Amino acid sequence: MFKTRLISGIILVLIAIGTITAGGAVLALTLLLVSLTGVFELYRVLKLEKTLPAFCGYLAVVLYYLYDVIRILADTRLAGMERDSYTLFLMTVFLIALMAVYVFTYPRYHADQIMGSFFAFFYVAVLLSCILRVRMLEHGRYLVWLVFFGSWGCDTCAYCVGMLIGKHKMSPRLSPKKSVEGAVGGVVGAALLGAVYGAVLASKIQTGIHPALLFAVICAAAGLISMVGDLAASAIKRNYKIKDYGTLIPGHGGILDRFDSVIFIAPVIYYLSVLLIG
């Protein structure tokens, strides 16, 4: 199992490095595929994966990323709208479409399923797209890696510290193996990774605050939020009595099992980068 998990992890990292380094349409299309898979996994948990509400959700994901692909390849805005305006427009149309399906097929679908259909789109596709938003910032080619330092770096440090000195359970009923010591170690580890990364890039990024300190703060905040993302994904699995969201990534589970914290961290990194760096 460890060997399988290690090989899968290495392949995943190589794919991430390749697509994020390429950026642009390559990254947008990769995130589209990842988002579609993640939305499908969540719809399967809700027993919706082959239903009309799910079809509306898949279409919404494609249309959501279509804006970025067109903007990048054609260097123009879709329908003359800014990204935020287009997102609000699409979410409004998607919600209306879901409610139309709900009322005109009543009582085929429960209200929880309709709300879950909308939630899956926002939770996976919209939040995950912030990786692309970070990449498209002025210093995006450097800043985007903070998403993974704050997520996978925090996870790794938390696991190591928890295994070595973890004694106090952080959430015994939800995730018995996670400890307070591991959580602290994860945040500190993420901050240290950010600091080292910032020190290396000090000559490339000019800000009012030294990049080492700035990146340490951003990664520490991201590390804290990553735990919410991790535990939230675990809570959903416990509610629906499943072990993993899927089997796409051997040894890791599905897309949502591997990207649960990344989904929450991406928007945090984006907005902190805009606020603190510009």
Mean pLDDT, the chain, rounded, equals 90
pLDDT score, position 1: 55
pLDDT level of residue 180 (50, 70, 90 thresholds): confident
Gap between the Cα atoms of 264 and 278, Å rounded: 21
Q: What is the pLDDT of residues 169-179, one digit of tens each?
A: 887 788 777 88
Least confident of 3-17, 53-67, 104-118: 3-17
Q: Which of 242, 276, 273, 194 is closest to 41 using CA atoms?
A: 242
116, HSE (Cβ side, Cα atoms, 13 Å) = 20
Give the separation between CA 172 and CA 211, rounded to whole angstroms. 37
Q: Where are the domains of the chain?
A: 1-128, 139-278
